[in-house]
Structure 1
Amino acid sequence: MDTYLVGGAIRDELLGLPPGDRDWVVVGATPQRMLDAGFRAVGRDFPVFLHPQTGEEHALARTERKSGRGHRGFVVDADPSVTLEEDLQRRDFTINAIARDAHGDLVDPYGGVDDLQARVLRHVGPAFAEDPLRVLRAGRFMARFAPLGFRVAPETMGLMRQMVASGELDTLVPERVWQELRKALAAPQPSAFLATMHACGALAAILPEVDALYGVPQRAEYHPEVDTGVHQQLVSDMAARLAPGDDLVGFAALVHDLGKALTPAHVLPKHIGHEHAGLKPLAVLCERLKVPLEHRGLAECVCREHLNVHRLAELRDATVLELLERCDAFRRPERVAGIALACEADKRGRLGSEEAAYPQGGELRRLHAAAIAVNARDLPDIGALAGQQVGVAVRKARIAAIAAARTLRAATAAPSS
């Protein structure tokens, strides 16, 4: 039997990127032979084994035959007669269909090395169309590799459009869609995912609430990019810049403006009340994709409060406390940093504002720190209070703490005479 290093490890090495997990393909072996060699079986849908020393995954070379709709509708053949070329042929993109043998020589039957050099994401063959998940993977790879100059091959984009039109994406289970979306939001350029999905029609199938933002105008004096969909792409990239690899902040930034798609035509390009209008489509999106509660909670706060955070300096002390209370910031203090970052991404995700200062983010964190430092046990005469009186006293003390923090900041910021 022969063993080959395959896939992403070779791709990333050739691109000069840090190495990730290494995957191996074994040609000419049977499951029993792998077990006899000390490997441990872990594959459910096809034969995958863990190396007894390294723990790295070794999969038997296999072919796949379409047997039904969706990304699970396949029959797998892992017969020892399956060749390396046949195994590589079932892979999604040419840049992922490169192998290296035990002597260090590359095996590249589908031109993956040339496509890496040309910075092209191209499907290996017609079998690409059999798995709708690959459309989302194309977007996710673009989110990762667009900063390196990658583009989707025209024939691949055309095939993806055909796949969307066939309705195959409707067979994807929410968990897989969410998994690909999270990875895209954690990548360096999420806008490439959105742009790729929008261009092939997939965004309307998986995230119709976001797709609806494209073509919706905004006031040019606040949004020189005008198109709300373009603004969203800028915001998502800014979130990735401010919070690299953080899909929690990335998701909150992605859905903060969903209400703008619901603005009546006669009101445009203004979007009065869009922050509250966006809560309903956000809830629908989260239910459909089974979004984790942590992501949903932060996203709701950012959707509802981003305009208030932008004008934080204009809010009264009591209003600042109410904002923090609505965001559950005293039970979930970690939310405040995420809210600040997502709101900053919104403000700086506009043409010409990429390097603008956003003091509101630091101020929100500072005022929250002042308010949360208030401890009921430290308040005078607290022992004489009961029930609701304690809560009232704590709120008054927190408002006073916010006021004091603002006074201190104003005093330190004032020029000396």
Structure 2
Amino acid sequence: MKTYLVGGAVRDRLLGLPPGDRDFVVVGATPEAMLARGFRPVGRDFPVFLHPDTGEEYALARTERKTGRGHRGFVVHADPSVTLEQDLERRDFTINAIAEDETGALLDPFGGLPDLQARVLRHVGPAFVEDPLRVLRAARFLARLAPLGFTLAPQTLALMREMVAAGELTDLTPERVWQELARALAAPRPSAFLHTLRACGALAVVLPEVDALYGVPQRAEFHPEVDTGVHIELVCDMAARLAPGDDIVGFAALTHDLGKALTPADVLPRHVGHERAGLAPLRALCERLKVPNEHRALAELACREHLVMHRFDELRATTVYALLQRCDGLRRPERVRRFALVCEADKRGRAGHAEDDYPQGRALLAALAAAQSVRAGQVADDGLQGPALGAALERARIAAIAAATGKRP
């Protein structure tokens, strides 16, 4: 019985990245032997155990055989005869198929170390095509690793195109698509996720509403990048810079301009009313992928209100208060903060504008703080109740916003 550290823990240490969860492969063991040592079983599809002291995962070495479509269509075989190399061979990318033994020695039967040095994401072998989820995983890994200089091996991209053309991605469950999307949006460079999926044809399958934005022109005086799809890539990367790791902000950044794909051709490159037009495709996307409620709420808010936010300097205090109400900001101040970040990412996510200031965001947060400072007890001295108290509280909050921002009531 031998134990090896495998996968992301080895890869990230070699790349100098912060360590994450550690996963181990056990060769030459049986489930009974693991139980006898105090390990707790947790695997449903194959034997995985938790260490009795550390809680870390230890999986028995296994092989997989394709028996059906999709990422679940596999039969797993795990017994003491399965070798480490056989276990590593079923993995997705060479940089994830490096193992480290108990002495610290590295075992690399599929060339992961040279690929780490060359900054190449490459599939391990022909079995890559058996799991369509690996198309999304490749794109998601690039969203994380592109800042380190990683690119996709041409042979891997060719396999991904074959998988898409064969219709394999239609078998992916919404939950797994969303999981990969959310992780990509929380990565340092989400544009690499979009770019990779588009390069292999997968973006049109899993995110057709986003794919439709590519090639749609915008007015060059406002958007030097012109192409709306390129703009979305810039906005997503800016959101990742402004709100690192926040996939709620990232999702709103991704979807805030979906309405531009619906602009009639004879109106282009203007996009009058694209904010409202974008709500229908956004809601369809959210329903299809079962997007969590807070992601959806912020995305709808950003889609509908981002142009209002850009014109913040023109708004009166009454209008600012109404915007805060539409944000549900007094109950959910974090949503206001995120909304301001999405709008800032939109404004700075344009070619040549990455370092622009966005005072509108600071002004909105100042307005929120002013409104929050007014409490019901402060305006209830005259025995006001019910609607009369609510109206007085609203007037006091609008006055506080006016005083804090210098705006007319």
Bucket of the pairwise TM-score, normalised by the shorter protein: over 0.9
Counterpart Cα distance in 2 of 1:50 and 1:315: 57
Q: CA deviation at 1:372?
A: 2.3
1:57 Cα deviation after fit: 0.8
Question: Residues 41-60 of structure 1 correspond to what in structure 2 (within 5 A)?
Answer: 41-60=41-60
How has the CA–CA distance of structure 1 residues 315 and 408 changed in structure 2, closer, same or farther, with 3 Å as cutoff? closer
Deviation at 1:274?
0.6
Offset at residue 393 of structure 1 (A): 1.7
Specify the alignment match of 1:82 in structure 2.
82
Partner SS for 1:334: helix
Query: What residue in structure 2 maps to residue 126 of structure 1?
Result: 126
1:27-106 → structure 2 map (5 Å cutoff): 27-106=27-106
Corresponding residue for residue 9 of structure 2: 9
Q: Aligned in 2, Cα 1:130/1:378: closer, same or farther, shift over 3 Å? A: same
**5+ long unaligned stretches in structure 2:** none
Residues in 2 aligned to 1:182 and 1:69: alpha-carbon distance in whole angstroms = 24
Q: Does the CA-based 8 Å contact 2:98-2:112 persist in structure 1?
A: yes
Q: Deviations over 1:37-89 (max 9, x none)?
A: 22111111100011122221110000000111111110000021111111000
Contact 2:4–2:24, Cα closer than 8 Å, also in 1: yes
Give a deviation string over 1:3-25, Cα, whole Å, max 9, x none.
11111111111111122111111
TM-score (norm: length of structure 2): 0.98
Q: How far 1:407 moved relative to its partner?
A: 2.5
Tell me which amino acid in the other structure corresponds to 2:3. Answer: T
> Tell me, what secondary structure is at the counterpart of 1:59?
strand
Give the match for residue 389 of structure 2. 390
| Structure 1 moving runs of 4+ over 3 Å | none
Provide the secondary structure at the position in 1 that maps to 2:374. Answer: coil
1:239-270 Cα shifts (integer Å, max 9, x gaps): 00000111111111111111111111011001
Deviations 1:147-172 (A, max 9, x none): 00001101100111111111111111
User: Distance in 2 between the 1:253 and 1:104 partners?
Assistant: 43
**What is the root-mean-square deviation in Å for CA atoms of aligned residues?**
1.3
* Structure 1 position 166 matched with structure 2 position 166: yes
- After TM superposition, give the deviation of residue 128 of structure 1 in Å: 0.7
How far the C-alpha of 1:331 sits from its partner, in A, is: 2.1
Instruction: Give the SS at the match of 2:82.
Output: coil
Match of 1:145 in 2: 145
Unaligned runs of 5+ in 1: 410-417
Q: 1:408 offset after TM fit, Å?
A: 8.9
**CA-to-partner distance for each residue in 1:112-154, whole Å, 9 max, x for gaps?**
0011111100000111111111111001100000000001101
Residue in 2 that maps onto 1:238: 238
Q: Match of 1:113?
A: 113
Q: How has the CA–CA distance of structure 1 residues 158 and 398 changed in structure 2, closer, same or farther, with 3 Å as cutoff?
A: same
Q: Note if contact 2:316-2:407 (Cα within 8 Å) is conserved in structure 1.
A: no
> Corresponding residue for 2:218?
218
Q: Is the 8 A contact 2:9 2:20 kept in 1?
A: yes
Name the structure 2 match of 1:208.
Answer: 208
How far does residue 386 in structure 1 lie from its aligned partner after superposition? 3.8
Give yes or no for contact 2:366–2:405 (8 Å, CA) kept in 1. no
What is the CA–CA distance in structure 2 between the aligned matches of 1:89 and 1:142, rounded to whole Å?
Answer: 21
State the alpha-carbon separation in 1 of the partners of residues 382 and 175 from structure 2: 49
Deviation at 1:275, TM superposition (A): 0.9
Q: Distance in 1 between the 2:387 and 2:35 partners?
A: 67
Q: 1: distance between equivalents of 2:72 and 2:221?
A: 49
Identical residues among aligned pairs (%) = 74
The 5 A counterparts of 1:250-399 are 250-379=250-379, 381-383=381-383, 385-399=384-398
Alpha-carbon distance, 1:390 to partner: 2.1
Q: Which amino acid aligns with 2:273?
A: G
| Residue in structure 2 matched with residue 415 of structure 1 by the alignment | none
Counterparts of 2:407 and 2:341, CA distance in 1? 24
CA-CA distance at 1:391 after TM superposition: 2.1
Distance, in Å, in 1 between the alignment partners of 2:377 and 2:100 is 66
Structure 1 length as normaliser, TM-score?
0.96
